[in-house]
Chain A
Amino acid sequence: MAQAQERELAVVIGLEVHVQLETATKIFCGCSTEGSEEPNTRTCPVCLGLPGALPVLNEGAVEAAVKVGKAINADVPERTRFHRKNYYYPDLPKNFQITQYDAPICQDGELEFTVESQRRTVGIERAHLEEDPGSLQHKGGSIDTAEYTLVDYNRAGTPLLEIVTEPDFRAADEVRAFLAKLEEVLEYLGVFDPERDGSLRIDANLSVVEAGEVGDDGHIDDDILESANRTEVKNISSHKGAEKALAYEAQRQKNAIQRGRAVEQETRHWDESRGITVSMRSKEEEKDYRYFREADLPPLEVADWKERIDIPELPDARRERFREEYDLSDEAADKLTSTKQVADFFEDVASEFDANLAATWVADNLLGELNYRDMAITDVDHRLDEIKRLVELVATDEITAKNARETVLRDMLDDGTDPDTIAEEEGLGKTDEGAVQQAVEDAIEENPDAVEDYHAGEGGAINFLVGQVMQKTGGSADPGDVNQLLREELE
């Protein structure tokens, strides 16, 4: 088939990221956000939407949102208020969702991140608070074929922050890098628990335009964006998933355009298991949510909240400080600030031992071994004291760095044993000086040929003798010390 002239095409992506904010109680009632997963147990008249129940704003959720606002350098208004978004859906207890419309808690922010070693900044149009709906369990089939559907309102009322970006992404890998950075920042702020199921949900708008429409600075005219048909891709729940879904969708749209077909403006569902996006509704009607003010929640004065609420040091600032304060390489500083827990642990170790030793142990040894086992620091967070003890054993010369790394750490991670027990059971405690001295003398006496070679100036001879001593001490002696002792003895 003759290939028609390939058109240069560019991808335009904007995101709506729903983040569950980690608060102890729900956004409009006192029910717990975590705990029993028995359906409909973490509920009350308010989050069940019972007739007569009224929402009361949990200011903790607003505080969490303001922290995010500070981190993304957004404007926080003088007063923030809530609206009702009206639509019928069985997971929505009141058949309207309390959300923010014209006075969102954050506006005009941005987030900087690195992709392919390039720094990129994406604009954040707004971030607004809303209540999570309940969840549906379709029994005996999918949404279309199920015999019946059960509703669980445990999730209903969990605070959500919907972060809406500008259509600033030009590739799927940028989305992934952005989301990873966003998660990192949210974690640093302590407002987000990535382990919680459904804590991050992403909808993406994607369209394809002529590459020539993209300016050197990445700018595209609004009317070009408006005129391009876009699809909304739903059901994305991770940054890896986002990259795959959007790479697929970008290619699908490009293919359609290259074949001269129009892209339909529609909502598509990301099917993770099949790795494709599928059309959700053939006839997508323009939704009218009939937004109007939620009179049950008076506007909240938040003018001074940004000033009043402190946020911890963010990853970029901490990375910079690590480089300077601990004299770390870029790579080490990156690794050591990859999550707040890693950075906190590093600083804890560095406060007691040498910073270089701490950096090697946390960035290379610990993260390396964890990575090899497909684990994260969160998997060993209850054992950080043991890992610190291992660093101490090395710092105080009780065991060698090599044994600590290759035997003790690996056994700790694989068997769950503590470092002192492993060192003892494996006989890794450094041999005392007398025993090393004895081994040195024995090695000299037992190997006259090597001694002769040494005196003849053969460089390899000393290494042979060091090896002999190490063998005698079961590897527990320090090779550098042995080398030194041998030389002294042979003079």
Chain B
Amino acid sequence: MSTEYNGYVTEETIEGTEDGPLAGKTVAIKDNISTEGVPTTCGSAMLEGYVPPYDATVVSRVKEAGGTIPGKTNMDEFGMGTTNETSAFGSVENPAAEGHVPGGSSGGSAAVVAAGDADMALGSDTGGSVRCPAAFCGVVGIKPTYGLVSRYGLVAYANSLEQIGPLAPTVEEAAELLEVIAGPDEHDGTTRDATDHGTDYDFAAAADGDVDGLSIGVPTELVEGADEEVVETFWDAIDELEAQGASYHEVELPSVEHAVEAYYVIAMSEASSNLARFDGVRYGPSPDYEGNWNEEFAKVREEGFGPEVKRRVLLGTYALSAGYQDKYYKKAQDARAWVKQDFDEALSEADVLASPTMPVPPFELGESLDDPLKMYLADANTTPVNLANLPAISVPAGETSDGLPVGLQLVGPAFGEKTIIRAGSALA
């Protein structure tokens, strides 16, 4: 029984333990998160037929918590896309907005939650890949602080930027799932213990909707360039929070004008290295090419990767090359440090920062495919958060006059998950 909107790549039930906090709940898993014995394709022909021999840490934790996995969700190839249209297994239609994309790259995860085909889902967020589809599909999505959730088993796109995060219809349910997957993991040296950072893991309890006294900073740079109807919906949501006792003021994030460029340089550079292992020796199409190993693996990669992946691998290789690394990769790292600093300053004067999650409402299917730049620019509000390693949540803020979902993004300080969960729960 496959979904008519193409939300799953593989529908295969993986049972969890009998009881636990997720007992009776279905948790769909993005198809770049390894599941033992169940194919994990990353939305790529390169990994068609690849069956991991091990579970990602988050998958083990979902199973131990009693969750049932109904299948692996469709996604942009290797997470590289904002619309889910780069998947080798076809695009996903947005269940909340007919004829439109669900957002990407965790489009399938957001779609199955929006359609009610799964209670919750896991996605991964490298530059907005959880928050964008959450916003486009009208559900909740959380991108945790870098290091809160283990990446062991997550097929890397850009490993210094990405985190696995939950998607669910409500903030409280997303927080429940985050509670299950968060915490240190001996298989991921970059995980950190939240209790060493002045907080704990009681995320669901924080979803109490209490925003009385909450101070919201609104970075003008992240609102100015957005679509008019998106901006209107955003301010309506801020008004609602204000009505519940929050206050807001404008803040500056001057560095964010460089964030998208910096993000793409870093993400593509890391991707060029992370995806190097797909050389045809152990994965990918194995046609009987003539020629030596170099020629053969070049052909495997030509055939196995889609155009967006090739574009990013080529640009990333270029950005890391001798003579260009200083000009691109090193500069992007400098910009990253600057973005972090700006966020720290802005968050020293506010509990959370609020902006539209996406500057635009969902694209129509096919609209942005031939214009990668248009797709990249749509990530303007989400990518800075990954550069700064901070936690962020996208909650439904309302709809445009055409009934297209609009998301509100709340960004918190490092390990400030409870703050953004509390604030977001006042809206959803």
Contact = CB atoms under 8 A, between A and B. Distances in A.
A358 B42 CA distance: 69
Contact of A90 (B32, B281, B283, B329): B281
A93 B276 CA distance: 9
Interface stretch (A173-181, A224-232, A290-298, A313-321): A290-298
Contacts, number: 93
B189 A296 contact: yes
A51 B186 contact: no
B338 interface: no
Contacts of B187: 54, 56
Interface in A48-93: 49-57, 84, 86, 88, 90, 93
A137 B33 CA distance: 33
B186 A56 contact: yes
Nearest to B146: A295
B269 interface: yes
Interface stretch (B4-12, B318-326, B369-377): B318-326
Q: Name A's interface SS.
A: loop
B73 to A, nearest CB: 16
Contacts of B160: 293, 295
A293 B273 CA distance: 11
B281 A86 contact: no
A312 interface: no
Contacts of B294: 88
B321 A288 contact: yes
A368 interface: no
Interface in A74-129: 84, 86, 88, 90, 93-96
Contacts of A51: 34, 40, 42, 47, 50, 52, 155-156, 277, 283
A45 interface: yes
A154 to B, nearest CB: 16
A106 B405 CA distance: 56
A296 B146 CA distance: 12
A290 B269 CA distance: 10
A96 B189 CA distance: 19
Q: Name B's interface SS.
A: loop
A97 to B, nearest CB: 11
Interface string B284-324: 00000000011001000000000000000000010011100
A289 to B, nearest CB: 9
Interface size class of A (residues with CB under 8 A): 20 to 34
Given A51-B42, A86-B320, A151-B281, A296 B190 contact: yes
Given A54-B151, A56-B189, A95-B276, A292 B320 contact: yes
Contacts of A55: 189
B281 A52 contact: no
A376 B279 CA distance: 46
A88 B279 contact: yes
Interface residues of B, number: 42
A84 B152 CA distance: 18
B306 to A, nearest CB: 17
B363 to A, nearest CB: 29
A303 B40 CA distance: 42
B329 to A, nearest CB: 6
Interface in B19-75: 32-34, 40, 42, 47, 50, 52-54, 56
Contact of B190 (A52, A288, A295): A295
Contacts of A90: 279, 281, 293
B190 A298 contact: yes
Interface string A227-244: 000000000000000000
B33 A52 contact: yes
Given A54-B151, A290-B320, A292-B325, A49 B277 contact: yes
Given A51-B42, A56-B189, A295-B160, A86 B273 contact: yes
A56 B184 CA distance: 13
B159 interface: yes
16 contacts: A50-B52, A50-B54, A51-B52, A52-B40, A54-B189, A86-B320, A88-B297, A90-B279, A94-B276, A94-B277, A95-B276, A290-B317, A290-B321, A290-B325, A293-B160, A295-B190
Interface of A: 45, 49-57, 84, 86, 88, 90, 93-96, 151, 288, 290, 292-293, 295-298
Given A50-B54, A86-B272, 19 more contacts: A50-B53, A51-B40, A51-B50, A52-B33, A52-B40, A54-B152, A54-B189, A55-B189, A56-B188, A84-B273, A90-B281, A93-B277, A94-B276, A95-B279, A96-B276, A292-B270, A292-B273, A293-B160, A296-B190
